[in-house]
Amino acid sequence: ANVSKADLTKELAKRYKSETDSIMLFGFRTAFGGGKSSGFALIYDDLESLKRFERKYRQARLGLFDHKRMNRKRIKETKNRCKKARGLKKAVVLAASKK
């Protein structure tokens, strides 16, 4: 198995005198045959700048962002209900589906 991202985060924090919260690791690949991995790390000044500039899906991996998603079937049903409605009733249909 590879080295865990938690261990790598601690090592980078120690090496670059940073906080572990403000480091983002992603895109790791193991070289063929093992023994070596490569990936990317972004080190931010503080947690606030990470939340400001980092992509939402990566923030969600750290537990800093919570996605509010509707499932696929519900999206399609809402779309087809909107086709039947006209004018202001479309807004009512959309508001009902977001609940």
* CA end-to-end span of the chain: 43
Give the integer Cα–Cα distance in Å for 56 and 52.
9
The predicted model scores a pTM of: 0.69
What is the pLDDT confidence band of residue 68, given thresholds at 50, 70 and 90?
confident
> pLDDT tens digits, residue range 25-56?
999 999 998 889 999 999 999 999 999 999 99
CA distance 89 to 97: 13
Q: What are the φ and ψ backbone dihedral angles of 25, each rounded to 5 degrees?
A: -110, 140
